[in-house]
Copies of this chain bind each other. A is one copy, B any other.
């Protein structure tokens, strides 16, 4: 392993001079000739700065941490993709950690905090009281699913719009009795109600159970005095399960009932019929979170980022003529 002093010796200069040149901080004046000699020596010896040494001296590691809920599934992986892209552009590396529960979450926080990373991006899965302590220790950026969390900078998708878009679309297609699973998120409900207000005679039927699967939701819907004509779930999985459940019960989607999901997962293309869903811009979410973190690391002022979801029309909603 070539070290900086190898380079310096070879170039016939002092260690510090070599350091100044390698780091091309314009601060220190170094003669053009010496500069060239050092650079040449560095390439000849195939020199790569040792990050451990640099980190120790500088207190900066050019690494960012990310703590995510178990990343099975495409949701998190697309966010990560966006994150990685920005960070790599800035020649930062990403250290990845995942957690399965709150305990593990804090464990990983501590793990990363001890690693002297320059910043941390976290995506909490649970209700996170506070992270102020961590935030004071290093720049932090939040990736929240929808509703914002205290004063830490964050990137999120506009949760208000998700169900607004879905319900508005259903109304436009003539539906008036709509079953909704909100997963306990008040924003989701508000969005739906905002859309419902625009049209007269709409009935939103709220499924209280946030963890119901597709079969459960469908059976609940069918048991209503006036069964809904459309089902809006809180995630694509439930929606996909609901389609499968309908199939098993001899019902046809969208002829007998319409379904609309949330997230825009890849498998929306694979259900029969293909699942109409509210797409969340996940890659962008990661990308923006990375940008925000880099800005904070450099000490800039930052503003939260709120991204807009959109509706991707497929085949699971039918038009009801009235």
Q: Which residues of A contact B (CB under 8 A)?
A: 1, 48-53, 55-56, 61, 63, 70-74, 76-78, 80-81, 84, 88, 91, 93-98, 108, 110-111, 113-116, 237, 240-241, 243-244, 247, 265-267, 269-274
Q: Which residue of B lies closest to A253 (CB)?
A: B272
In the bound complex, residues from chain B placing their C-beta under 8 Å from that of A243 are 270, 272
Residues of B near A78 (CB, < 8 A) are 72
| Interchain CB contact under 8 A, A48 and B240 | no
> What chain B residues lie within 8 Å of A114 (beta carbons)?
48-51
In the bound assembly, the distance between CA atoms of A167 and B163 in angstroms comes to: 45
CA distance A176 to B183 in the complex (A): 47
Determine the distance from Cα of A292 to Cα of B53 in the docked complex, in whole angstroms.
28
Number of copies: 2
Nearest 8 Cβ contacts at the A-B interface: A48-B114, A267-B267, A240-B270, A52-B55, A247-B272, A52-B56, A77-B77, A272-B272
Cα of A72 to Cα of B74 in the assembled complex, Å: 6
Which of B70, B237, B273 is A247 in contact with, Cβ under 8 Å?
B273
Q: List 16 A-B contacts (CB under 8 A).
A: A1-B116, A48-B114, A51-B116, A53-B56, A72-B74, A72-B266, A73-B266, A91-B111, A94-B95, A95-B96, A240-B269, A240-B270, A244-B269, A244-B271, A271-B272, A272-B272
Please report the C-alpha to C-alpha distance between residue A247 and residue B111 in the assembled complex, in whole angstroms: 50
Chain B residue numbers with a CB within 8 Å of A244 are: 269-274
Smallest Cβ-Cβ distance to A61: which chain B residue: B52
Q: Which residue of B lies closest to A83 (CB)?
A: B96
**Closest Cβ of chain B: how far from A27's Cβ, in Å?**
23
Q: Write the chain B residue with the least CB distance to A73.
A: B74
Which residues of chain B come closer than 8 Å to A266, judged between CB atoms?
72-73, 267
Q: Are A116 and B74 in contact (CB under 8 A)?
A: no
A98/B72 in contact, CB under 8 A: no
A240 contacts across to B, CB distance below 8 A:
267, 269-270
A97 to B266, CA, bound (A): 22
Q: Which residue of B lies closest to A265 (CB)?
A: B267
- Minimum Cβ distance to chain B for residue A120 (Å): 13
Do the beta carbons of A88 and B71 come within 8 Å of each other?
Answer: no
| Known contacts A48-B113, A115-B51, A267-B267; A84 and B61 CB within 8 A of each other | no
